[in-house]
Amino acid sequence: MEKVRWGILSTAKIAQKSLIPAFERANNAVVTGIASSSGKAEEAAAQFNIAKAYSSYEAMLQDPDIDAVYIPLPNHLHKKWTFEAAKRGKHILCEKPASLTAEETKEMVDFCRESNVKFMEAFMYQFHPQHERVREIIKSGEIGEVKYMRASFSFFLAQPEGNVRMDSEKGGGSLYDVGCYAIHSIRKILGAEPVEVDVHANIHSDYQVDTSAFGYMKMENGVHALFDCSFDMVFRAEYEVIGTEGQIKVPRAFRPDNHGGEGLVIVQIGEETREEKIVADIYREEVEHISQVILENGEPSYSGENAIQNMRVIEACYQSIHTGNIIKLV
């Protein structure tokens, strides 16, 4: 089977822990090279049996044996290296959030199109079929008319010092890091966009980033939604949808890989509750999807326009935090 030859742009933890192993499990992808600006590429290449190690990102991007790159760099570097990769004809899987603003993301998406390369933001959670199952249940009318959705993603960051998530100049903050998932899931599950947002946050006095954010979104279809994200709370990665006749809870929404890939959809109608367990390998599904898109010259199921819109909502949330106002998106 033909395989896309991938390069990994940095030895970031997410790459080593989750993505490189996913590339190894994928049928249509292979990691051909890894680059590091900190001198760690050779060590990582040896650990994962990667053929090539590069001492600079530029060197990897100039290699004709690399078809596509995965970018897990700090948020503020996503735009720069997406442009550099696209200039050299490399397809791109870029970690979330795509950039720091909707305008930056639009520039990235447009430039990749002009350069005739594929671009996809790496929201891996959406490739788990539990979410499509939730949408099926909603569409069936089983829980009645949807009135409300809540999404939460939090974890306790015990050692903030030196963590890129706490660096305001590098796109730090809980909203960029995990709140983006909560916002994305509300938009995806409800199939609607917010028309106004009202968000409050805890801003760390030393680091000047949001360590927690709590948001309200009024959706265009009349549904009300709440989200919260945090570095200051116990691990939660869940959402729930409330209707006139029942509710759906998804307690492993964003990291089912922590449970061996097993997603869990809990449906409660009156006194009756049922659980549906669905297993999938989200990182492998993500890698195989974008690789197949590249091989077939197709389009990702998660479009550039969708990535731009998610950043537009995140940007409005930060605007609400900094001004103390309700921000309208229409």
- With 0-12 / 13-18 / 19 or more C-beta atoms within 10 angstroms meaning exposed / middle / buried, residue 297 is exposed
At 144, is the pLDDT very low, low, confident or very high (cuts 50, 70, 90)? very high
Beta-bridge partners for 44: none
27 pLDDT exceeds 90? yes
% of the chain exceeding 70 in pLDDT: 100
pLDDT value at 91 more than 90: yes
> Given this structure, which CATH class describes domain 126-283+311-328?
alpha beta
C-alpha distances (whole Å) from 213 to each of 67, 148, 216 are 38, 19, 10
30 contacts 4 by C-beta, under 8 angstroms: yes
Q: What are the domain boundaries of the chain?
A: 4-122, 126-283+311-328
* Beta strand 146-156 pairing with 29-35: unpaired
First to last CA, the chain: 47
Domain 4-122 belongs to what architecture? Answer: 3-Layer(aba) Sandwich (3.40)
Instruction: Kindly state the average pLDDT of the residues 119-134.
Output: 98
Task: Give buried/exposed letters for 32-67 (b at 16+ CB in 10 A, else e).
Answer: bbbbbeeebbbebbeebebebbbeebeebbebeebb
Cα–Cα dist 330/325, whole Å: 15
Q: How far apart are CA 129 and CA 281, in angstroms?
A: 10
Closest by CA position to 146, among listed 222, 86, 206: 222
Q: Which amino acid is at 291?
A: S
Q: Are 70 and 6 in contact (CB under 8 A)?
A: yes
CA-to-CA distance for 264 and 267, rounded, in angstroms? Answer: 10
Question: Could you tell me which residue, 25 or 13, shows the higher pLDDT?
Answer: 25
Residue in this structure with the two tokens 């829980």, named with its chain if needed = 143
53, two tokens: 């190690």
Q: What is the pLDDT of residues 145-163, one digit of tens each?
A: 999 999 999 999 999 999 9
For range 212-233, the mean pLDDT = 98
What are the tens digits of pLDDT across the range 237-283?
A: 999 999 999 999 999 999 999 999 999 999 999 999 999 999 999 99
* pLDDT for position 245: 98
Q: What is the pLDDT of residue 118?
A: 98
Average pLDDT for 81-94: 98
7 — pLDDT class (breaks 50, 70, 90): very high
Asked if domains 4-122 and 126-283+311-328 share a fold, the reply is no
Q: Which pLDDT belongs to residue 158?
A: 96
Mean pLDDT of 118-140: 98
Percent of the chain with pLDDT over 90: 97
Predicted confidence at residue 231, as pLDDT, reads 98
For residue 314, give Cα distances in angstroms to 238, 264, 275.
19, 27, 32
Under 8 Å between Cβ of 105 and 287:
no
pTM for the full model? 0.96
- The pLDDT of residue 330 is above 90: no
- Produce one character per residue of 254-281: b if its CB has 16 or more CB atoms within 10 Å, e if not: bbbbeeebebbbebeeeeeeeeeebebb
Q: How confident is residue 37, by pLDDT bands cut at 50, 70 and 90?
A: confident
